[in-house]
Structure 1
Amino acid sequence: MRLFAPGAAYCLLAGIMLAGCNAYEKGHTEYQRPELPQKSDWVGPEAAVQVSANETIQPDWWTGFNDPYLDQLIETALAGNLDLKILAARIDAAEAAIGEERSTLLPSVGANVSAQLQASPLGTTQQFGAQASANWEIDVWGKARKGVQAQTAEYQATEADWRAGYLTMAADLADTYFAIRRLDEQLQRQRSALDKNRRILAIYRQQHQAGLIPDTRIRQQQAEIHGLQDTQVDLVRLRRLAENRLATLLGRPAGDFRVPPATLTDTVSLPVVPAGLPSQLVSRRPDIIAREYRVLQVHHLVGQAHLAKLPGFSLTGNGGFASAVLSGLLGNWSLGLAPAMNIPIFDPGIEARLATREAQERIAEEEYRKTVLLAFEEVENALTNLAARKERLNEVRAQIDQLAQVRNQIDRQVQLGMASQLEVFESERSVLAAQQNLLQLHGQILSDTVTLYKVLGGGWPSTRVH
């Protein structure tokens, strides 16, 4: 009795071959970049100038601030920053993992040498042997090569991660350094305000000795000086905290590094930064590049999961020598060769692994799209902040000009004893507050410029996934 008719067997074979062809085709599907959010142009006022990616920002973009000390700090951080060292070690690990994946394409060979001595009432027996074995899983369908391609994509992603870390480190360092310089200038103006208020106190004391003003005015002026000194102490504290942060970025212990004092406006220039095009942004930002390489990595892993449905071919060989006499090993040998084919007819693990990889691919694609969409938001925000704060800067400068004229008039009145202490306080506080506001805006514009460099990719050359 025949269990299967010839026609049924042919149909079964044809079905297996068709499924195999389908698995092979899906396993070698060409990578297609996922559909991304589209943006025609930037909206921000600063987007009027559009140039190519390489012309927009250079890799050493921080040199545009024309501060040699900042250049020196970043060069030091490139060698000492621990975050960059961690990212570089991950690149090395990813490169080693490529070699590990490639090793699956090569045969494995093992050897065993033995000597056995056994004693019994009948005498002593001995046996010498040497065995060798080799196993090679032949990558007929390219499943192992897909693993190598996936790990290569991960290696390229870790390289992009390093570039993103490099960009973030330089931006953080520049922001921290600018904060220190801004605090230096605030301290300078605070000391100047203290000196002026002390001079006013001296004038009040002379006027009080002459019987022109009451003792309360002197006490009020002394209270004003204490308030200014309190603010000065807090500015010194903030500067030390910023120095500690800078030391960590440089890879040094906090407290072991000090920045020589200098004012922000005297040491740092404000560069003009034009915006780039959205297409250039996508091809330049290292975090976006890393995301796409990870989409490519999962694409290859999905292909590998499809190819796992196909039969596997392996070749096993073994041979050796065995003899009771060591000198007779060469005369007593054996050799075996065993080709094998493994056909996965029913393996639920294969389908489960494929479903997992396909889900991971969808996750990677959505994360890629999200990174691009967030990049558009970051650039628009940076452009908007930069334009608005430049407008505010002009308004505050005009405000200071008016307040300075009022202060000069009150200064002349103080000498004559014609100005009230309230007028003096309001004048000095208004001018100092406006000056500090102007300095704060200048620092924010520098920070916005750094942010714009960062969100545009920092001038990294275009990298494409192949």
Structure 2
Amino acid sequence: MRALILPVVLAVSACSLTPAFVRPAAPVPMTYTTGAAPDVRTNAADLGWRTMFGDRRLQRLIELALESNRDLRLAALNVEAAAAQYGIQRAAQLPSADAAGGFTRQRIAPNAETDPPIAAMTQKQYGVNVGISAFEIDLFGRVRSLSDAAFARYLESDDGRRAAQIALVGAVADAYFAERLAQEQRELAEHTLADWRESLDLARRLRNAHQASSVDVAGAEGQVASAEADLEARARMVEQAGNALWLLIGADFPKDLPEPTPLAQQPVMTRLPAGLPSDLLFRRPDILQAEQNLIAANADIGAARAAFFPRLSLTSSLGFISPAMSGLFDGDHRAWTFAPQVTVPLFQGGRLRAEFRLAEVRKTSAVAGYERAVQIAFREVADGLAGRDTFHRQIEAQARVVASAERRTDLSSLRYRAGVDGRLELLDSQRQLYASRQVLLDLRRAEFGNAVALYKALGGGLTETDVRPPGTAPELSLVAPDQLARS
């Protein structure tokens, strides 16, 4: 029996009806429109997130998120499920052999009408066999195409997990900087409120000394009330930013977290090397995920084509049957079956053609999804590069605005105390100083947010340590502490 089965299984090589896969051309320019020559030797995707984010507190939070985040855990479970599904589909390419043993005991009723008459009797039968049931000989590659599609979907799910990790690292960093911004804006509001309360106390004492009017006091009281309202809003933002960060971490914050680094001293890389747009095709997991989806859809077309052709299946068994257990394995009791079967589709009511059209439509949709993923990636990198080239200059200009507002406030305070200017001039200068400091904090936060977005867009965040070539040092972006910490 083995001489009949094994040559059929091993010698039959299935032809494939799956179209040859061709990666669509990237619908983006060859270079980014930033004006600067790309550095093709390095890429931000090779930078570990510990290099990208030097704040030890942020590094610890990213560690916790990678361990406890529920979304990342679900993505990992999806990978395991896809791997199991691929194992199931791959097993269909091999024959499944089962061993069975049984015992039958039955009573045969008497029959007096036969010649000679049959008396009642009890029969026993023992049986042992090994068999293959309905194994499909993959003549036209249908089973292999389904297996290839399942494998591509497994790779797609793994790329989805990697994309989820990149998104998580970026989201934690973004939420952390949002929390730092909210904390420092609240501290700035607290300091400003304290200064304005002192100014209100001065205005009241001057009024009591008949050196200022009630209008000045009313203006100072309104300014203090405005600062108190703004302080409550900042406190709410702090709580909300902390809640967002806690949700991303997926666990309570440990008590031994390192102290946070102020925004003015954050060692964050902002001048990231981008490489070429073609690098995104191999570094962005979401693009690789879209490509694997396209490969799976292409394999589904091969399976749909093969469904139009005949199917050859094989059922066989080899064993022993005996009325007595003692002689079961005697040579005379050997039994075997060999039952190949050919199934030819004759009339399916248009189902096979509809399945084939559906496979083609899904492939066309996968092509569009792939091209869209490439275009989105290019746009995200281009936006990040635009921010990289402009935020630093904008922050420097805003720092000069803050310095100018500080000088004006100091001069207005001296002139007001000397009786040269009125209270309104001092109030206006104080408001402008407060607003300019808040804008400077917002810009620093926005620059870090742009760096995080560019890091994610280039495919960074998958590794903890660097894989970049030696001799390429990171370029950090720092602002002098007096530009942000002065209040």
Q: TM-score by structure 1 length?
A: 0.84
Q: Which residue of 1 aligns with 2:473?
A: none
Structure 1 Cα separation of the partners of residues 435 and 124 of structure 2: 97
Checking the alignment, whether the CA contact within 8 Å between 1:302 and 1:358 is kept in structure 2 is: yes
In 2 relative to 1, CA 56–323 (structure 1 residues): closer, same or farther, beyond 3 Å? Answer: closer
Q: Does residue 241 of structure 2 align to residue 239 of structure 1?
A: no
Q: Which residue of 2 aligns with 1:113?
A: 102
Report the AA paired with residue 88 of structure 2. E
Q: Which residue of 2 aligns with 1:339?
A: 340
How far is 1:411 from its partner? 1.6
Q: Out of 395, 398, 411, which is 1:396 matched to?
A: 398
Q: Secondary structure at the match of 1:338?
A: strand
Report the AA paired with residue 355 of structure 1. R
Aligned length: 437
Checking the alignment, whether the CA contact within 8 Å between 1:184 and 1:262 is kept in structure 2 is: no
Q: Which residue of 2 aligns with 1:17?
A: none
Q: Deviations over 1:215-236 (max 9, x none)?
A: 4533432332222121111111
Checking the alignment, whether the CA contact within 8 Å between 2:19 and 2:301 is kept in structure 1 is: no
Structure 1 Cα separation of the partners of residues 41 and 166 of structure 2: 16
Report the AA paired with residue 239 of structure 2. R
In 2 relative to 1, CA 372–382 (structure 1 residues): closer, same or farther, beyond 3 Å? Answer: same
How far is 1:456 from its partner? 1.8
Q: Out of 54, 60, 64, which is 1:72 matched to?
A: 60
Q: Secondary structure at the match of 2:211?
A: coil
Q: Which residue of 2 aligns with 1:275?
A: 274
Report the AA paired with residue 134 of structure 1. I
Q: Out of 362, 367, 370, which is 1:365 matched to?
A: 367
In 2 relative to 1, CA 302–151 (structure 1 residues): closer, same or farther, beyond 3 Å? Answer: same
Q: Secondary structure at the match of 1:394?
A: helix
Deviates more, 1:451-460 or 1:249-258: 249-258
In 2 relative to 1, CA 29–53 (structure 1 residues): closer, same or farther, beyond 3 Å? Answer: farther
How far is 1:167 from its partner? 0.9
Report the AA paired with residue 172 of structure 2. L
Deviates more, 1:412-421 or 1:316-325: 316-325
Structure 2 Cα separation of the partners of residues 59 and 99 of structure 1: 35
Q: Which residue of 1 aligns with 2:440?
A: 438
Q: Secondary structure at the match of 1:134?
A: strand
Q: Which residue of 2 aligns with 1:160?
A: 159
Q: Which residue of 2 aligns with 1:20?
A: none
Q: Deviations over 1:314-347 (max 9, x none)?
A: 2211355555555454464532112233344555
In 2 relative to 1, CA 413–38 (structure 1 residues): closer, same or farther, beyond 3 Å? Answer: closer
In 2 relative to 1, CA 270–328 (structure 1 residues): closer, same or farther, beyond 3 Å? Answer: closer
Q: Does residue 44 of structure 2 align to residue 43 of structure 1?
A: no
Report the AA paired with residue 73 of structure 1. L
Q: Secondary structure at the match of 1:444?
A: helix
Q: Secondary structure at the match of 2:398?
A: helix
Q: Out of 335, 354, 372, which is 2:356 matched to?
A: 354
Structure 2 Cα separation of the partners of residues 309 and 120 of structure 1: 50
Structure 2 Cα separation of the partners of residues 178 and 446 of structure 1: 7
Structure 1 Cα separation of the partners of residues 256 and 243 of structure 2: 7
In 2 relative to 1, CA 317–53 (structure 1 residues): closer, same or farther, beyond 3 Å? Answer: farther
Report the AA paired with residue 342 of structure 1. T
Checking the alignment, whether the CA contact within 8 Å between 1:54 and 1:459 is kept in structure 2 is: no
For structure 2, the residue ranges without an aligned partner over 5 or more in a row are 1-13, 111-118, 468-487
Q: TM-score by structure 2 length?
A: 0.81
Checking the alignment, whether the CA contact within 8 Å between 1:61 and 1:453 is kept in structure 2 is: no
Checking the alignment, whether the CA contact within 8 Å between 1:184 and 1:264 is kept in structure 2 is: no
Q: Deviations over 1:51-79 (max 9, x none)?
A: 22743443424633421111111111111
Q: Deviations over 1:81-101 (max 9, x none)?
A: 111111111111111112101
Checking the alignment, whether the CA contact within 8 Å between 1:244 and 1:254 is kept in structure 2 is: no
Checking the alignment, whether the CA contact within 8 Å between 1:284 and 1:460 is kept in structure 2 is: no
Task: State the percentage of identical aligned residues.
Answer: 27
How far is 1:259 from its partner? 9.3
| CA RMSD, 1 decimal | 3.0
Structure 1 Cα separation of the partners of residues 214 and 422 of structure 2: 14
Deviates more, 1:285-294 or 1:334-343: 334-343
Q: Which residue of 1 aligns with 2:207?
A: 208
Checking the alignment, whether the CA contact within 8 Å between 1:243 and 1:258 is kept in structure 2 is: no
Deviates more, 1:422-431 or 1:323-332: 323-332
Checking the alignment, whether the CA contact within 8 Å between 1:176 and 1:246 is kept in structure 2 is: yes
Q: Secondary structure at the match of 1:276?
A: coil
Checking the alignment, whether the CA contact within 8 Å between 2:33 and 2:382 is kept in structure 1 is: yes
What is the 5 A alignment of 1:112-191? 113-118=102-107, 125-130=122-127, 132=129, 133-135=131-133, 136-191=135-190
Q: Does residue 287 of structure 2 align to residue 284 of structure 1?
A: no
Q: Deviations over 1:94-120 (max 9, x none)?
A: 111121012112223343524335497
For structure 1, the residue ranges without an aligned partner over 5 or more in a row are 1-22
Structure 1 Cα separation of the partners of residues 400 and 67 of structure 2: 44
Structure 1 Cα separation of the partners of residues 371 and 244 of structure 2: 33
Checking the alignment, whether the CA contact within 8 Å between 1:41 and 1:278 is kept in structure 2 is: yes
Report the AA paired with residue 279 of structure 2. Q
How far is 1:436 from its partner? 0.5
Q: Deviations over 1:180-224 (max 9, x none)?
A: 111122122112211211221232233233222234533432332
Structure 2 Cα separation of the partners of residues 413 and 270 of structure 1: 44
Q: Which residue of 2 aligns with 1:19?
A: none
In 2 relative to 1, CA 172–62 (structure 1 residues): closer, same or farther, beyond 3 Å? Answer: farther
Structure 1 Cα separation of the partners of residues 299 and 337 of structure 2: 36
Q: Secondary structure at the match of 2:102?
A: strand
Structure 2 Cα separation of the partners of residues 431 and 256 of structure 1: 37
Checking the alignment, whether the CA contact within 8 Å between 2:15 and 2:139 is kept in structure 1 is: no
Q: Which has the higher helix share?
A: 1
Structure 1 Cα separation of the partners of residues 37 and 447 of structure 2: 18
Checking the alignment, whether the CA contact within 8 Å between 2:169 and 2:461 is kept in structure 1 is: no
Structure 1 Cα separation of the partners of residues 188 and 178 of structure 2: 15
Q: Out of 74, 90, 108, which is 2:78 matched to?
A: 90
Report the AA paired with residue 442 of structure 1. R
Q: Secondary structure at the match of 1:30?
A: coil
How far is 1:290 from its partner? 0.7
Checking the alignment, whether the CA contact within 8 Å between 1:87 and 1:161 is kept in structure 2 is: yes
Q: Secondary structure at the match of 1:48?
A: coil
